[in-house]
Amino acid sequence: MRTQEKSPTRSRDFDAEIILGPNATIGDKVKALRLSRKMTIASLARASGLSDRAIRYIENNERTPGAGAVQQLADALEVRTDIFMDPEIFEQTLHKEEFLQQAKEKYGSRGMAQARHLVEQAHALYAGGELSDADRAVFRQEMEAIFWDSQQEAQKFTPKARK
C-alpha cells in the first residue's frame, strides 16, 4: 500500500503564483500585486480605502474600477497607475470623472446625467480616430465649456422653488 503525502494546507493564498499575460486585466494585476506583497483583501481594502467587496469584484473581473479607484489601489500597492491603465487613458478617465462629479455637485443627478450624455455623444463623434489627441482635448474642453454655459443659461429660466 502506497502512502500519499499530503501537501500542507494553506490558510491564505499568498503562495499562489499568478503569471500575467499580455491580456491581463486590471483585476488580474491587482490580485497579482496584492499576493506578491502578501496582503489580504482586507489589508488592501484598509490601505486603499475601498471596500473588501469592491476589491473582490475588481479581482474577479466583475467590475472595472474608475480612475479614482485605480489611483487608490496604486497608492496602496505602491505602484504607478500606468501599471493598470495607459497614462493617457488614465488622465482622460480621471478628467471625465471629475467633470461628471462637478456637474453632479452643481446641478444634481440630472445635471450629471446630462453631462454623461454629452461625454458619450462627443466620444462617438471622434470614435473613428480622425482627430489628433490634441484636437480631441480641445474639442472636449469646448464641449464642456458649452455645457457649463448652457446650464447657467438654463438656470435663468428655471422657476425658483418656493420656501
The pLDDT tens digits for 55-112 are 999 999 999 998 899 999 999 999 998 888 888 878 888 888 899 999 999 999 998 9
Are residues 151 and 93 located together in one domain of the fold?
A: yes
**Exposed/middle/buried for residue 152 (C-beta within 10 Å: 0-12, 13-18, 19+):** exposed
Is residue 2 in some structural domain?
A: no
CATH of the domain at 46: 1.10.260.40
Q: Could you read off the pLDDT of 30-63 as tens digits, one per residue?
A: 999 999 889 999 999 999 999 999 999 999 999 9
Whole domain around residue 122: which residue ranges? 87-157
Please say whether the beta carbons of 76 and 48 come within 8 A: yes
Cell of 109: 443627478
Domain ends where: 36, 53, 83?
A: 83
Place of cell 483585476: 27
Is residue 49 in some structural domain?
A: yes
Output b/e per residue, 40-56; b: 16+ Cβ within 10 A: ebeebbebbebeeebbe
Cell of 131: 482627430
Are residues 92 and 151 located together in one domain of the fold?
A: yes
